[in-house]
Chains A and B, each alone.
Chain A
Amino acid sequence: MDILSYLVFFSAVSGIYAIATLGLNLQWGFTGIMNVGVVGFFGVGAYATAFLTGPAYPDAFGGFGLPPLVGYLGAMIASGLAALVVGLLTIRLRHDFLAIGTFGAAICIQLLAMNLKPITRGFDGLHSLPRPFAGLAATPVAANAYFLAMVVAIIAAVVWALERMVRSPWGRVLRAIREDEEASAALGKNAFAFRLQTFVMGSMLMGLAGALYASFTGFVSPQDLLPILTFQVYVMLIVGGSGNNYGAVLGAVLIWALWTMTETFLGAVLPAGLKQQVSALRVVLVGLILVLMLLYRPQGLLPERANVSREARLQG
C-alpha cells in the first residue's frame, strides 16, 4: 500500500514533467526552437494558478480562491501571453542567440518572483494552495490517485492533439523549418509566424505543467524556478526521443526515476562504506547515462518516425 502511495506520487510528478517535455518537444523536437527558458514559463504558470486559486494573503496579490480548473486555464493563458511577448522579441534569433534570449527571459521571471514581494511574497513563497481532490477523496493517497488520473488524462489529450497537429500540413511546415528555414521560406511559408505559434503553444504546455505542479505540492516559491528544471526537461526529451511525443513522455518518466528513485535503490544495494556517497554517486550515474545515450543512441529511446503524414508512407 505504501509502495503504491509512493508510485502514485512519483507518477503524478513525472506526468507533470512529461507535459512540460511535450511542450518542449513541439518547440525543439519538431520546430528546432532552442528554448532554454522552459522554467520561466513553468514558473509563470505556477504563480498564475497560485494567484487564481490560492487563499488570500495579507501581504501578497491574488487570493481569488477560484476552482483549480480555472487556475489551470488562467495559467495557460498567462504563460501563453508571456511566451508571446518573449517570442515577439526573440523568435527571429537563431539557435544559440535564441537560447541566450530565452534563458535571460527565464532568469528575469525568477528575479521578478524573488523581488516583487508585494505580489509574490518573494522567498517566503505562496503556501497552502488548495490541492484538488483533497476534499473529495477519503484519504490523501486517494486524492493523489485522482490527481494522477487527471494528469494522465491531460497527457493523453495533449499527445492526441499534438500527434494530429504534427501530422497535418501545419506540422509538416514545422519540420521543414527545422530542417531548412530558408528553403521553407522560399516555398512561401512565413517561418516567423510558424515559429511564434509553436513557441507560444509549447510554452502554454509548460505553464500548464507549472500550474499542475503548484497545485499538486500546494506551495510555490522562487526556488521552484531554478534553471536546473530546464536542463531536466531537455534531458528527458533527448533521452526519450526528440521529435517523438511518446518518447517525450517515456523520457520524462525514466529520467525522473533516475533522478529520484536511484537514491533509495543505491542506498539499498551499496556496501555500507559507500552509503555516505550515495548522493554524489547518483549525480555521477545521471551524467554517465546521459553521455552513454548521446554516444550510442543520440536519436533517443523512441526515435522520431519518418512518416510525416497519415497518407504518406516514406522509407525510414
Chain B
Amino acid sequence: MTIFKTLLLAGVAGVLFAGPAAACPAKIGAVLSMTGSYATFGPPISNAAALAVEQLNAAGWKVGDCSKLEYIVRDDQTQPSVGVDAARRLVDLDAVGAIVGPITSGVTGPLLTSVTVDKGVLVIVSASSSPTFTEMARQGKLKGLFYRVLPSDALQAVAAAKIAWDAGYRKIAVFNLNNDWGNNLGKQFAVTFKAMGGEITGTVTYNAEQPSYRAEVNKALEAKPEAVYIAATPIDGSKILRDWISLGGTQKFIFPLGMNDAKVVEQIGDQYLKDAWFVTPGAPQPNSRSVFYENYEKRYNLDPGKGPGPGRDSGYDAAALIGLAMMAAKDYKDGKAIAAAIGKVTDPAGTPIMATVDDYRKAVQLLGDGKTIRYVGATGPMTYDQYGDVSTPFVGWQLENKIFVQKKNVSAQDVADIKSKTGT
C-alpha cells in the first residue's frame, strides 16, 4: 500500500514536473509500438528516427534562436487506447508540434480522430498504410495534418505485380495476412496481375500468430501455382515459409515490404530464397537509401547488410521531413505551419538534399535563405498529393550471399501508368 501510494504520488509529480515543456529544445514526438505484438518493428524504427534527429542537430539545425532538436518516443504497446493516451501526453505535456505516427492503422485512426487533428498537430506516419486515411483526407477530416512516408499499399502491390510479370511468372497464388495491410496488398496484387493478363490461382488469407500454417499452405498449393505473393510479417512469414518449403511448394516468392528482414533470411536459409523478390519503396542506387543504411549500421553497431529492415527508412524519413519542414516553416510548435511547409521541402524544383549530414548543412543554409529543397530520403524522392499520399519509386531486391541487392527498379511513373492502363 505504501509502495503504491509513493509510486502514485511520484507518478503524479513526475507528470506535473514533465510539463508544460519549455519552448526550446524543439521537439519531435513519436508514437510507436515499442512493446506489444508489433514490438519487433518499433525499436528499429525509433532508432532510425532518432538518427535523423541526431544528424539534423549535427548539421546545425536551427529555427530562430532555437538550435537544438529533441526526439521523444512514446510506446503505444500496439494497443489503440494506450497509443491515444501517449499521443495526448506528447501534445499536452511535451508540447510537440509534430509526431512520427504509429505503425499500425488501428492506433493511427483514433490518434487522428481524437488527438492530433483537433489540436492542430502534424502526423507523419512511418508505416500505417491503410486506405482509410486517404478516404478521411478526401472528406476533409484531417485538415492537411496527415502525411505518409510509405506509399499506400495499393501502389506497393502494383509494383510487386509488375516485378512478378517481368520475371516471367503467369500463374501466381496470393497468400496474405488477414488485416488491413495484408488484405489490401493481396487484393491489389490480384486485381493488377489479372488485369495484366496473368492468372491468380487463388487468394488465401491467414490469421496472425498461429502455431502452424500447414492448412493454409496446403490450400494455396492445391492449384499448383508457379509463384506466390506472400504478404506476411517476418514472424508469421518465417513459419509460413517453413511449411511452404517443407510441403514442396514453389520457391519463386514475391514479398512486400516487411519480409526484407535479415532474421527471415537467417531462419529460412538463403538457399531457399534464391528466387525471391523483395519489393519495397525506394529509389535506384546509388542513392540516399544506401547512405542511410550505412549510417544506420555504423550508429547502432550492426554488421554490414543488417541495416535494411521494415520501416526503418520510412521512420527515418518521417523524422527528417518534420525536422526540415520546421526549418522551412520557421516554426517548431505550430503543427499547421509545419504541415504547410512540407511542400517547401519536397519541391520537385528544389535543390536535392540526400540523407546525409553534409546535405543537411546545405539544407539549413537554403531554407534559412527562404529557398525550397527536394528531400531525397531513405525511401527515395517523395511527391505528395493534397491528401498527404506519397508516390515514390519501388525497388525489387534479391539475395546475394545473404545480402539484399537491388535488382530491379519500378519508377513512380511506371506504377501510375500500370494503374491507369489496367484501370485498377
Query: Taking beta carbons and an 8 Å cutoff, which residues of A are in contact with B?
Result: 1-3, 5-6, 9-10, 13, 111, 114-115, 117, 121-125, 127-129, 131, 140, 213, 216-219, 221-224, 226, 228-229, 254, 257-269, 278-280, 282-283, 289, 292-293, 296-297, 301
Interchain CB contact under 8 A, B93 and A265: no
Interchain CB contact under 8 A, A258 and B11: yes
Assess A223 versus B132: contact at CB under 8 Å? Given A5-B92, A218-B113, A264-B93. Answer: no
Complex Cα gap A9–B181 (Å):
30
Q: Could you name 21 residue pairs across A and B whose Cβ atoms are closer than 8 Å? A: A3-B93, A114-B179, A114-B207, A117-B183, A123-B130, A124-B130, A124-B131, A125-B130, A127-B113, A140-B119, A217-B81, A223-B78, A224-B80, A224-B106, A226-B78, A261-B89, A262-B14, A265-B11, A265-B14, A265-B18, A301-B1
Among B2-10, B281-289, B393-401, the stretch in contact with A: B2-10
Interface-central residue, B16, B17, B88, by most chain A CB under 10 Å = B88
* B216: min CB distance to chain A, Å: 14
| CB within 8 Å: A-B pair count | 181
Assess A262 versus B131: contact at CB under 8 Å? Given A2-B95, A123-B106. Answer: no
A223: which B residues are within 8 A, CB to CB? 78-80, 104-107
Complex Cα gap A222–B79 (Å):
11
A222: which B residues are within 8 A, CB to CB? 106, 179
In chain B, what residue has the closest Cβ to A277?
Answer: B34
Interchain CB contact under 8 A, A127 and B109: yes
Q: Which of B91-128 contact A (CB under 8 A)?
A: 91-95, 104-107, 109-110, 112-115, 118-119
In the assembled complex, B15 has its CB within 8 A of some CB on chain A: yes
Q: Flag B56-79 by CB within 8 Å of A: 1 or 0 each.
A: 000000000000000010110111
Given contacts A223-B104, A262-B11, A263-B89, 5 further A-B contacts (CB under 8 A): A2-B95, A5-B88, A115-B178, A222-B106, A229-B81
Complex Cα gap A293–B1 (Å):
8
In the assembled complex, B35 has its CB within 8 A of some CB on chain A: yes
**Which of A1, A264, A280, A293 touches B35 (beta carbons < 8 Å)?**
A280
Complex Cα gap A292–B3 (Å):
9
Interchain CB contact under 8 A, B80 and A3: no
Interchain CB contact under 8 A, B132 and A6: no
Query: Taking beta carbons and an 8 Å cutoff, which residues of B are in contact with A?
Result: 1, 3-4, 7-8, 10-20, 34-37, 72, 74-75, 77-82, 84-86, 88-89, 91-95, 104-107, 109-110, 112-115, 118-119, 130-132, 135-136, 139, 141, 178-181, 183, 207
Interchain CB contact under 8 A, A219 and B114: yes
Assess A261 versus B11: contact at CB under 8 Å? Given A217-B114, A223-B107. Answer: yes
Assess A10 versus B85: contact at CB under 8 Å? Given A217-B113, A224-B80, A228-B79. Answer: yes
**Which of A3, A217, A279 touches B20 (beta carbons < 8 Å)?**
A3
Interface-central residue, B35, B79, B84, B85, by most chain A CB under 10 Å = B85
Interchain CB contact under 8 A, B109 and A226: no
Interchain CB contact under 8 A, B8 and A257: yes
In chain A, what residue has the closest Cβ to B18?
Answer: A268
Interchain CB contact under 8 A, B139 and A128: yes
A258: which B residues are within 8 A, CB to CB? 7, 11
B20: which A residues are within 8 A, CB to CB? 1-3
Assess A264 versus B18: contact at CB under 8 Å? Given A9-B85, A124-B180, A125-B106. Answer: yes
Complex Cα gap A213–B109 (Å):
13
